[in-house]
Amino acid sequence: MTDPLVIFTPSGKRGHVAPGTTVLAAARQLGVDLDSVCGGRGICSKCQVEPAFGAFPKHGVTVTEEALSPRNAVEDRYDRIRGLAPARRLGCQALILADAVLDVPPESQVHKQVVRKRAEARPVVMDPATRLHYVEVAPPDMHEPSGDLQRLERALAEQWGIPNAKGDLRTLQMAQPALRKGDWKVTCAVYGDGPEPRILQVWPGFYGGPIYGLAIDVGSTTIAGHLCDLATGDVIASTGLMNPQIRFGEDLMSRVSYAMLNPGGAAQMTAAVRQALNALVAQAAAEARIDPALIFEAVIVGNPVMHHLVLGIDPVELGQAPFALATADALHLWAEEIELRLHPDARIYILPCIAGHVGADAAAVALSESPQLNDELTLVVDVGTNAEILLGNRSRVLACSSPTGPAFEGAQISSGQRAAPGAIERVEIDPVTKAPRFRVIGVNAWSDEAAFPPDTRVTGICGSGIIEAVAELRLAGLLDASGLLGSAEQTGTDRMVPQGRTHAYRLRGDILVTQGDVRAIQLAKSALYAGARLLMDAFGTDTVDRIVLAGAFGAHISPRHAMVLGMIPDCDLAKVSSAGNAAGTGARIALLNVAARRDVETLVHRIHKVETAIEPRFQEHFVAANAIPHASDGFPHLDPLPEVTFNTEGGRRRRRG
Amino acid sequence: MTDPLVIFTPSGKRGHVAPGTTVLAAARQLGVDLDSVCGGRGICSKCQVEPAFGAFPKHGVTVTEEALSPRNAVEDRYDRIRGLAPARRLGCQALILADAVLDVPPESQVHKQVVRKRAEARPVVMDPATRLHYVEVAPPDMHEPSGDLQRLERALAEQWGIPNAKGDLRTLQMAQPALRKGDWKVTCAVYGDGPEPRILQVWPGFYGGPIYGLAIDVGSTTIAGHLCDLATGDVIASTGLMNPQIRFGEDLMSRVSYAMLNPGGAAQMTAAVRQALNALVAQAAAEARIDPALIFEAVIVGNPVMHHLVLGIDPVELGQAPFALATADALHLWAEEIELRLHPDARIYILPCIAGHVGADAAAVALSESPQLNDELTLVVDVGTNAEILLGNRSRVLACSSPTGPAFEGAQISSGQRAAPGAIERVEIDPVTKAPRFRVIGVNAWSDEAAFPPDTRVTGICGSGIIEAVAELRLAGLLDASGLLGSAEQTGTDRMVPQGRTHAYRLRGDILVTQGDVRAIQLAKSALYAGARLLMDAFGTDTVDRIVLAGAFGAHISPRHAMVLGMIPDCDLAKVSSAGNAAGTGARIALLNVAARRDVETLVHRIHKVETAIEPRFQEHFVAANAIPHASDGFPHLDPLPEVTFNTEGGRRRRRG
What is the per-residue pLDDT across B145-203, written as a single tens digit (0 to 9) for each? 899 999 999 999 999 999 889 998 999 999 999 999 999 999 999 999 988 899 999 99
pLDDT at A212 over 60: yes
Strand partners, B228: B213, B235
* Range with the poorest average pLDDT among A88-92, A209-213, B410-414: B410-414
* pLDDT for the residue A649: 57
Q: Tens digit of pLDDT for each residue in A253-264?
A: 889 999 999 999
- b/e burial code for range A585-622 (CB count within 10 A of at least 16 → b): bbbbbbbbbbebbebbbebbeebbbbbbbebeebeebb
- A 10 A CB-CB count for B591 gives 29
* pLDDT for the residue B37: 86
A311 exposure class (CB count in 10 Å sphere: 0-12, 13-18, 19+): buried
Q: Residue range A490-515: average pLDDT?
A: 93
Phi then psi for residue A459, to 5 deg, are: -105, -20
* pLDDT for the residue B121: 64
Is A263 part of the contact surface with chain B (CB cutoff 8 Å)?
Answer: no
Is B353 part of the contact surface with chain A (CB cutoff 8 Å)?
Answer: yes
Alpha helices in B436-543 (DSSP H): 463-475, 488-491, 515-539
Inter-chain touch A314–B176, beta carbons under 8 Å: yes
Which of A139, A327, A609 lies nearest to residue B147, judging by beta carbons? A327
Residues of chain B with C-beta less than 8 angstroms from the C-beta of A327? 147-150, 167, 172
Mean pLDDT of chain A: 90
A291 exposure class (CB count in 10 Å sphere: 0-12, 13-18, 19+): exposed
Is B269 part of the contact surface with chain A (CB cutoff 8 Å)?
Answer: no
Q: Residue range B495-503: average pLDDT?
A: 93
Is A446 part of the contact surface with chain B (CB cutoff 8 Å)?
Answer: no
Measured in Å, how far apart are chain B's first and last C-alpha atoms?
90
- A 10 A CB-CB count for B192 gives 15
* pLDDT for the residue B657: 35
pLDDT at B654 over 50: no
* Range with the poorest average pLDDT among A154-163, A447-456, A608-617: A608-617
CB contact set of A604 (below 8 Å; sequence gap of 6+): A328, A352, A353, A354, A363, A366
Nearest C-alpha in A relative to B321 = A142
Is A177 part of the contact surface with chain B (CB cutoff 8 Å)?
Answer: yes
pLDDT range class, residue A654, cuts 50, 70, 90: very low
Percentage, residues of chain A above pLDDT 70: 97
Inter-chain touch A145–B323, beta carbons under 8 Å: yes
Residues of chain A with C-beta less than 8 angstroms from the C-beta of B612? none
Q: What is the ipTM of this complex?
A: 0.85
Angle CA A321–A326–A327, to nearest 5: 120
- A 10 A CB-CB count for A50 gives 15
Inter-chain touch B328–A141, beta carbons under 8 Å: no
* pLDDT for the residue B652: 46
* Range with the poorest average pLDDT among A20-24, A46-50, A557-561, B653-657: B653-657
B602 exposure class (CB count in 10 Å sphere: 0-12, 13-18, 19+): exposed
* pLDDT for the residue A151: 96
Pairwise CA distance, residues A539 & B591, whole Å: 56
Which of A314, A322, A358 lies nearest to residue B141, judging by beta carbons? A322
Beta pairing class for A100-103 and A48-52: antiparallel
Q: What is the DSSP letter of A68?
A: B
Pairwise CA distance, residues B217 & B350, whole Å: 10
Pairwise CA distance, residues B512 & B516, whole Å: 11
Residue type present at position B398: L
* Range with the poorest average pLDDT among A117-121, A146-150, A198-202, A606-610: A117-121
Strand (E) or helix (H) holding A498: strand A496-499
Residue B546 in 3-state DSSP? strand
Is B164 part of the contact surface with chain A (CB cutoff 8 Å)?
Answer: no
* pLDDT for the residue B408: 82
Is B355 part of the contact surface with chain A (CB cutoff 8 Å)?
Answer: yes
CB contact set of B267 (below 8 Å; sequence gap of 6+): B312
Measured in Å, how far apart are chain A's first and last C-alpha atoms?
90
Beta pairing class for B48-52 and B21-22: unpaired
Pairwise CA distance, residues B541 & B106, whole Å: 43
Q: Tens digit of pLDDT for each residue in A166-205?
A: 998 999 999 999 999 999 999 999 999 988 899 999 999 9
pLDDT range class, residue A568, cuts 50, 70, 90: very high
Inter-chain touch A324–B614, beta carbons under 8 Å: no
CA–CA min distance B554, chain A (Å): 27
Restricting to A residues 182-221, those with a Cβ less than 8 Å away from any Cβ of B are 195-196
Phi-psi region of A274 (alpha: psi -120 to 50; beta: other; left: phi over 0): alpha
Q: What is the DSSP letter of A629?
A: P
Residues of chain A with C-beta less than 8 angstroms from the C-beta of B169? 311-312, 331, 333, 337-338
* pLDDT for the residue A116: 61
A13 exposure class (CB count in 10 Å sphere: 0-12, 13-18, 19+): middle
Residues of chain B with C-beta less than 8 angstroms from the C-beta of A142? 321-323, 356, 611, 613-614
Q: List strand residue ranges (DSSP E) for B53-158, in order.
A: 54-56, 61-63, 89-90, 95-96, 100-103, 113-114, 124-125, 130-136
* pLDDT for the residue B267: 96
* pLDDT for the residue B407: 81
Percentage, residues of chain A above pLDDT 90: 68
pLDDT range class, residue B116, cuts 50, 70, 90: low
pLDDT range class, residue B655, cuts 50, 70, 90: very low
Distances, alpha carbon B210 to alpha carbons B111, B160, B206, B229, B292, in Å: 17, 20, 12, 7, 12
Restricting to B residues 24-63, those with a Cβ less than 8 Å away from any Cβ of A are none
Residues of chain B with C-beta less than 8 angstroms from the C-beta of A337? 169
* pLDDT for the residue B250: 75
Which of A196, A312, A326 lies nearest to residue B195, judging by beta carbons? A196
Is A580 part of the contact surface with chain B (CB cutoff 8 Å)?
Answer: no
What is chain B's Cα-based Rg? Answer: 30
CA A547 from chain centre, in angstroms, equals: 17
pLDDT at A296 over 90: yes
Specify which of A42-46, B178-182, B243-247 reaches the highest per-range mean pLDDT.
B178-182
Residues of chain B with C-beta less than 8 angstroms from the C-beta of A317? 148, 176
* pLDDT for the residue A653: 45
* Range with the poorest average pLDDT among A7-21, A33-47, A458-472: A33-47
pLDDT at B573 over 80: yes
* pLDDT for the residue A657: 35
pLDDT range class, residue A76, cuts 50, 70, 90: very high
Inter-chain touch B147–A329, beta carbons under 8 Å: yes
Cβ(A325)–Cβ(A285) below 8 Å: no
Closest CA to A189 of A212, A216, A169: A212
Residues of chain A with C-beta less than 8 angstroms from the C-beta of B165? none
pLDDT at A81 over 90: no
Distances, alpha carbon B546 to alpha carbons A616, B364, B390, B393, B404, in Å: 83, 19, 12, 10, 21
* pLDDT for the residue A650: 47
- A 10 A CB-CB count for B500 gives 8
- A 10 A CB-CB count for B435 gives 12
Mean pLDDT of chain B: 90
* pLDDT for the residue A115: 62
Is B176 part of the contact surface with chain A (CB cutoff 8 Å)?
Answer: yes
Inter-chain touch A142–B322, beta carbons under 8 Å: yes
pLDDT at A311 over 80: yes
pLDDT at A615 over 70: yes
* pLDDT for the residue B630: 77
pLDDT at A651 over 50: no
Residues of chain A with C-beta less than 8 angstroms from the C-beta of B321? 142
Q: What is the DSSP letter of A610?
A: -
Q: Residue range B478-496: average pLDDT?
A: 93
Is B576 part of the contact surface with chain A (CB cutoff 8 Å)?
Answer: no
Strand partners, B638: none
- A 10 A CB-CB count for B181 gives 13
pLDDT range class, residue A404, cuts 50, 70, 90: confident
pLDDT at B115 over 90: no
pLDDT at B375 over 70: yes
Pairwise CA distance, residues B480 & B98, whole Å: 78
CA–CA min distance A328, chain B (Å): 4
Residues of chain B with C-beta less than 8 angstroms from the C-beta of A354? 145
Beta pairing class for A222-229 and A235-242: antiparallel
Q: Tens digit of pLDDT for each residue in B24-79?
A: 999 989 989 898 888 888 888 889 999 999 988 888 889 998 999 999 999 999 89
Is A150 part of the contact surface with chain B (CB cutoff 8 Å)?
Answer: yes
How many Cα atoms sit within 13 Å of B542 on the Cβ side? 4
Q: Tens digit of pLDDT for each residue in B433-462?
A: 999 999 999 899 999 999 999 999 999 998
Cβ(A417)–Cβ(A410) below 8 Å: yes
Residues of chain B with C-beta less than 8 angstroms from the C-beta of A356? 140, 142, 145
Inter-chain touch A329–B177, beta carbons under 8 Å: no
Distances, alpha carbon A613 to alpha carbons A78, A572, B142, B249, B410, in Å: 64, 30, 10, 70, 78
CA–CA min distance B316, chain A (Å): 10
CA–CA min distance A363, chain B (Å): 14
Between residues B362 and A614, the one the model is more confident about = B362
How many residue pairs from chains A and B have C-beta atoms closer than 8 A?
134
State if pTM tops 0.90. no
Inter-chain touch B355–A145, beta carbons under 8 Å: yes
Closest CA to B550 of B580, B586, B588, B584: B580
Angle CA A108–A109–A114, to nearest 5: 115
Which of B143, B321, B329 lies nearest to residue A150, judging by beta carbons? B329
